[in-house]
Amino acid sequence: MAAITLRKIIKRYGAGAKANQVIHGVDAEIADGEFVVIVGPSGCGKSTLLRMVAGLEEISGGEIAIGGRVVNDIEPSERDIAMVFQNYALYPHMTVFDNMAYGLKISKVPVAEIKARVDKAAAILQLAPYLARKPRELSGGQRQRVAMGRAIVRQPQVFLFDEPLSNLDAKLRAQTRIEIRKLHAELGVTSLFVTHDQVEAMTLAQRMIVMNAGRMEQFATPDEVYARPATTFVASFIGSPPMNLLTGHANGASFTLDGQTVPLPAPAPRNGELTLGLRPEHVVAGGSGGWPLKVELIEMLGAERLVHGQLGSHAFTLRMDGMLTPPAVGSTVQLQLSAQHLHWFDIATGARVEAT
Amino acid sequence: MVERRPTLGILAHVILILGVLVVALPVYITFVASTHTAQEVVQRPMPMLPGSHFIENYVAALQGGSHGAGSTAAVGRMMFVSLVSALIITFGKIAISLLSAFAIVYFRFRFRMFFFWAIFVTLMLPVEVRIGPTYKVVSDLGMLNSFAGLTIPLIASATATFLFRQFFLTVPEELVEAARIDGAGPMRFFKDILVPLSATSIAALFVIQFIYGWNQYLWPLLVTTNEDMYPVVYGIKRMIAGGDSQNEWNLVMATAMLAMIPPALVVMLMQKWFVKGLVDTEK
Amino acid sequence: MEKRVVFRSGWLPWALLAPQAIVIAVFFFWPAGQALVQSLQQSDAFGTSVSWVGLENFQNLWNDETYLASFKTTAVFSILVAVCGISLALLLAVFADRVVRGATVYKTLLIWPYAVAPAVAGVLWLFMFSPSIGIVAYGLEAMGIDWNHLLNGGQAMTLVVAAAVWKQISYNFLFFLAGLASIPKSLIEAAAIDGARPWRRFWTIQFPLLTPTTFFLLVINMVYAFFDTFAIIDASTQGGPGKDTSILVYRVYYDGFKALDIGGSAAQSVVLMVIVVVLTVLQFKFVEKKVNY
């Protein structure tokens, strides 16, 4: 087990004038035994970052250290890591047992020890009846578990997961998520898990790295990322339905939105043009003297209702309990805000502005 | 992947360069030989650098009339025969295969499977196993020493039909349905939709069949006795007769170079289709 | 596989099939049938009368020592050509797969020999190895090897094997390249992460996954050695010295057209047909097994 250090990581494809930089300086310290999820939309560079830690991509700038050792120039086979691939990458010509034993044989682990480790992993992953089968005879979920078993038996310093749940159906995905959490609780190996799914990120991560277009926007616990997103991107990426972002002019305890001035329960951190973020679940409809929302459409989801409407020229969504009576479509309701749940962001940079 | 193995990298290039040299060596020697006089070529050892008789030798070869002990046919004429027969074989094969594959895949008729298997069987037996009787048939039909005799028997095998059949099976059903709804009959569909879609396969087959046709040896050996109808690949062999010193090796080598150029050009210029053609025909 | 949507027409399919059907009937099935018939007959010295002799031609072949020797020659020849051709091509393909710079250049330079006619290859190698004027023969003698393939059967065999392998390398090389490219990159990466270095990755992952390609090439190379090499042999050794490089297909030609033993040659053709069919069936059986990843 080991800590992972990423220092000013840069990734560039091509050279000279035609170079294309895809990762622009990522810094992160991942503690020994921590489960960190790297999450972001397609193309943000998360898989590239993971592959650089694995040694499958060259590092164009900066350093990666595993367990205190700088690994920039060290081949994947020497890094003492294990990886679970999105398409599992099981060796098709070998049985499940041999797939899991492959790495151990190479490290010259004694035969008895190999059998012991494989059997133990098979027991944890419920693969014992399949040890003599070939990968093509297994279902997707079973293959995924073999891929994890292959990683577990190696007892490496670090586990790397590259979107391992993406090829599973929804039910299996939810099940496997829980199994991965249990596995981590039991084995406690430092893990880096890449996904584009924010639900997976929120439920699995002890801390998460939110990436966008090659930049690390926030590196914090799920609670922190949810309650205090560092940028407008993080604010709208995490949380479903996404946070409402309203651009307007703040002046003390009032906010001017599209020519209409409305009161704020708490003063803005500074005066001037700002973006206000409000989560749908932190706004209540009703009462008087709040923000006027023109109701356009209501979605009934059972336990909750989503009310979509217009706030001036901004689209706005609010969430209400499914048992309460919804407002009529076409009517105007007053929105009541809560002082603790106002998020302020700089208009130009999108960065969070803290109240003083 | 991160790899710090410079020796392996160098080894790879060394082996590949060696491979290229070994592969190119015979051709280099041939080229050198084709640029010297006959006497220079038969000395021991032959000079390793090109000589100065390039134009002279090639012109002499193309026009024929050399003084060697073997055949003295004009290489120019032989190249022409090769070109025409290769093109006839290529286009002939592609044309009749397109039609047959279309019939087999897109129609239902009695004996369809019978024809399918009959065509399949021809894949298995190259001309070499039936040379005797095939020769007799060609001779009986009066096709000896003719372009027809050189080419038609070689169109008999079904590699192209198979390739097109495989390809047609992958064409989406919806295209036929759409064509029918638009009022197109079978030949319309064939001409306007199927053939254009098959362009890559046709290009691939063109390369393979052209080389096959150009490089024919055994068959021309049997059906031509008239020097005028020798394809160049066969003609070369005929130029070597008697002892080594009696052949004009420099001209033989010039002929060899000329014989190698058209297929080599086709392969290099159409490399992409060539590779596709090889890999597809064998599946 | 069948098409669900078809055209209905009474006469059109027949018209479309006619050209190919006629050509294969006249130039394939009729002669093949003739070969079968002739193999059971024997004509007299003048070719005027023909008598049915049943399987006598086949029995004569079986008892003919030189024919059996020819079998052995062909077997030796094709195994050598297949093994050498495949190993060399695999070596080149593995390294061509690894290099990043210049991969296309190497590929182009290594595949063009496919375009060379076997007959031309035979002539070229004959020229290089000719005991009196060949440059390579001269080189060998300088190294102390006495080269004369006109007298030495083993050397003649070496010459034709070399010419045949030289031509076949490009074909095998292309297929191995395609085979290597079809192995998912993630398998190689997984093996690297599991601790396998390049040498081990090749032998434990890539080579086993190339088995279908290798088997396929083995059969193709053997068929190639059986038939397409006629031109090489005729151009260089004419089956000699004696019968040392007289492979089966060469004998069919010689007996049929030089020695004018129609019945015997036809019987030999039939034997060859059987061998090809067996080899082709083997090929289809192995190629049909596709590896799923």
Residue A160 clears pLDDT 80, i.e. is over it: yes
Structural domains counted in chain B: 2
pLDDT of res. C44: 64
Are B111 and B212 part of one and the same domain? yes
Are B166 and B184 part of one and the same domain? yes
Range(s) of the domain holding residue B24: 6-75+235-260
pLDDT above 70 as % of chain A: 99
Whole-number mean pLDDT of chain C? 83
Tell me the per-residue pLDDT of B91-145, one tens digit each, with 9 for 90 and over: 999 999 999 999 888 888 888 888 888 887 787 777 777 787 888 888 888 888 8
Taking residues C81-93, report their average pLDDT. 94
Residue A18 clears pLDDT 80, i.e. is over it: yes
Among C33, C124, C280, the residue with its CB nearest the CB of B256 is: C124
Choose which CATH entry (2.30.29.30, 3.90.480.20, 2.40.50.140, 3.30.930.10) describes domain A242-346. Answer: 2.40.50.140
pLDDT of res. B180: 86
Cβ pair C133:B275 closer than 8 A = no
Nearby residues of B49 by Cβ (< 8 Å), 6 or more positions away: B32
- Which range of A123-132, B206-215, C238-247 scores highest in mean pLDDT? It is A123-132
- Interface check for B99 against chain C (CB to CB < 8 A): the answer is yes
Cβ pair C190:A81 closer than 8 A = no
Say which CATH class C65-288 falls into. Answer: mainly alpha
HEC string of chain C equals CCCCCCECCCCHHHHHHHHHHHHHHHHHHHHHHHHHHHHCEEECCCCCCEEECCCHHHHHHHHCHHHHHHHHHHHHHHHHHHHHHHHHHHHHHHHHHHCCCCHHHHHHHHHHHHHCCHHHHHHHHHHHHCCCCCHHHHHHHHCCCCCCCCCCHHHHHHHHHHHHHHHHHHHHHHHHHHHHHCCCHHHHHHHHHCCCCHHHHHHHHHHHHCHHHHHHHHHHHHHHHHHCCHHHHHHHCCCCCCCCCCCHHHHHHHHHHHCCCHHHHHHHHHHHHHHHHHHHHHHHHHHHCCCCC
Give B169→chain A minimum CA distance, Å: 26
pLDDT mean by block of 10 residues, chain B; 283 residues: 88 92 85 81 76 80 65 79 92 92 86 83 76 84 88 83 84 87 88 88 87 88 86 83 67 85 86 76 58
Per domain, the residue ranges of chain A are 4-235, 242-346
- Interface check for A85 against chain B (CB to CB < 8 A): the answer is no
Cβ pair C230:B217 closer than 8 A = yes
B4 vs C29: CA distance, rounded Å:
61
**In A17-110, alpha helices (H):** 46-54, 96-106
Are B81 and B206 part of one and the same domain? yes
Residue that wins the pLDDT comparison between A219 and B9: A219
Are B27 and B57 part of one and the same domain? yes
Cβ pair B130:C28 closer than 8 A = yes
Are B70 and B97 part of one and the same domain? no
**In B3-74, alpha helices (H):** 6-33, 38-42, 54-63
Whole-number mean pLDDT of chain A? 92
Cβ pair B268:C108 closer than 8 A = yes
Tell me the per-residue pLDDT of A233-269, one tens digit each, with 9 for 90 and over: 999 999 989 999 999 999 888 889 888 888 888 888 9
Using an 8 Å CB-CB cutoff, list chain C residues near A90.
190
Closest CA to A162 of A59, A2, A50: A50
Tell me the per-residue pLDDT of C156-199, one tens digit each, with 9 for 90 and over: 888 889 889 998 898 899 889 888 988 999 999 999 999 999 99
Residue that wins the pLDDT comparison between A81 and C27: A81
Query: Where residue B178 sits, what CATH number does that domain have?
Result: 1.10.3720.10
User: Is residue B274 assigned to a domain?
Assistant: no
Are B64 and B13 part of one and the same domain? yes
User: Is residue B265 assigned to a domain?
Assistant: no
Taking residues C57-65, report their average pLDDT. 81
User: Is residue B150 assigned to a domain?
Assistant: yes
Among C191, C197, C292, the residue with its CB nearest the CB of A136 is: C292
Cβ pair A102:C196 closer than 8 A = yes
Residue A74 clears pLDDT 60, i.e. is over it: yes
pLDDT of res. C292: 37
Closest CA to A147 of A90, A91, A224: A90
Give B171→chain C minimum CA distance, Å: 9
Residue A30 clears pLDDT 60, i.e. is over it: yes
Are B27 and B118 part of one and the same domain? no
Residue that wins the pLDDT comparison between C149 and C16: C16
Among C187, C195, C205, the residue with its CB nearest the CB of A107 is: C195
Are B38 and B10 part of one and the same domain? yes
pLDDT of res. B245: 58
Per domain, the residue ranges of chain C are 65-288
Using an 8 Å CB-CB cutoff, list chain B residues near A56.
1-2
Q: Quick one: closest CA in A to C192, which residue?
A: A77
Q: What is the pTM (predicted TM-score) of this model?
A: 0.83
Identify the three-state secondary structure at position A157.
coil
User: Is residue B215 assigned to a domain?
Assistant: yes
pLDDT of res. C291: 41
| Band of residue C293 on the pLDDT scale cut at 50, 70, 90 | very low
Tell me the per-residue pLDDT of B9-26, one tens digit each, with 9 for 90 and over: 899 999 999 999 888 888
pLDDT of res. C45: 58
pLDDT of res. A1: 63
Are B104 and B155 part of one and the same domain? yes
User: Is residue B267 assigned to a domain?
Assistant: no
Q: Quick one: closest CA in C to B166, which residue?
A: C1
| Residue entry with tokens 């052949």 | B247
Chains in contact with B, where contact means 3 or more Cβ–Cβ distances below 8 Å, are: A, C
Cβ pair B176:C5 closer than 8 A = yes
Are B91 and B198 part of one and the same domain? yes
Q: Quick one: closest CA in C to B130, which residue?
A: C32
Q: Would you say domain A4-235 falls under CATH 3.40.50.300?
A: yes
Give B226→chain C minimum CA distance, Å: 17
User: Is residue B29 assigned to a domain?
Assistant: yes
